[in-house]
Amino acid sequence: MARVAIVTGGTRGIGEAISLALKDLGVTVAANYAGNVEKAQAFTERTGIQAYQWDVGDFDACAQGVARVAAELGPIDIVVNNAGVTRDGTILKMDREMWEDVIRINLGGCFNMAHAAFPGMRDRKWGRIVNIGSINGQAGQYGQVNYAAAKSGIHGFTKALAQEGARFGVTVNAIAPGYIDTDMVAAVPADVLDKIVARIPVGRLGQASEIARGVAFLCSEEAGFVTGSTLSINGGQHMY
């Protein structure tokens, strides 16, 4: 039977590319999304991949979402924690809500989803969890204490859960994307983005499909010996 995957934030940007790459591997994909119903419906029409709405920052909603996908598509073998938001600003301008939103959604979402899906993976002795971190969690970024902290947390979370999953056949890895050509990066002021791109040795933004390819590898049968690792895909911007 085909493996079943949930990709959070799976209907847009990097998540959309991941959903498609897993579908190409023969995986049955459920693409989670938070709010943009119109884009999610268009995604389903375009790809044939079912979309499911819940907030990954909500612990109970994740438990219910995972149970619903399992009931409709089958037990969950693969979770890709891709959902994330930015609320950029220097610490002088960052209020408590900007901090809490990013930690709750980006980092809390990984815990909430893994907490819901891990027991089934343990029972079936097979699982793949891939967490989307960031170059900015590795290197820091001016104006992103919230996002850098959450993404850095994701890298620690990955290494800890990898140790717990290993004896059950559950691998846990992270990908650290650099600046990828998505709506999130397009929201960075143009003059700031130009300066960032000038520091990327490859000389361009990355494509969502270039991240998805890495996720597909980490989710494959052949990647069973890869766990606790971070794959940096950033055009050489940060060699870590």
Rounded to a whole number of angstroms, the minimum distance from the CB of residue 155 to ligand CAA is 12
Query: Distance (Å, rounded) from C-alpha 208 to C-alpha 65?
Result: 25
C-beta of 143 vs 169, nearer to ligand CAA: 143
C-beta of 136 vs 171, nearer to ligand CAA: 136
* Closest residue to ligand CAA: CB criterion: 143
- Cα dihedral sign for 209, 212, 213, 214? positive
C-beta of 121 vs 205, nearer to ligand CAA: 205
C-beta of 156 vs 224, nearer to ligand CAA: 156
Rounded to a whole number of angstroms, the minimum distance from the CB of residue 176 to ligand CAA is 8
Query: Distance (Å, rounded) from C-alpha 238 to C-alpha 176?
Result: 10
Is 171 within 8 Å of 121 (Cβ atoms)?
Answer: no
Rounded to a whole number of angstroms, the minimum distance from the CB of residue 2 to ligand CAA is 31
DSSP state letter for 222 = G
- Tally of CB atoms within 10 A around 96: 7
- Report strand pairing: 230-233 vs 78-81: unpaired
C-beta of 119 vs 142, nearer to ligand CAA: 142
Query: Distance (Å, rounded) from C-alpha 118 to C-alpha 116?
Result: 6
Q: Which residues pair with 39 in a beta bridge?
A: none
Active site residues: 147
Can you read off the two tokens belonging to residue 133?
Answer: 């971190």
Element (H, E) at 233: strand 230-233
Query: Distance (Å, rounded) from C-alpha 182 to C-alpha 191?
Result: 17
Rounded to a whole number of angstroms, the minimum distance from the CB of residue 193 to ligand CAA is 8
3-state DSSP assignment of residue 112: helix
Can you read off the two tokens belonging to residue 27?
Answer: 């995986």
Rounded to a whole number of angstroms, the minimum distance from the CB of residue 124 to ligand CAA is 32
Binding site for ligand CAA (CB under 6 A): 86, 88-90, 93, 134-136, 141-144, 147, 177, 179, 184-185, 188-189, 192
Nearest alpha-carbon partner for 161 in 114, 119, 206: 114
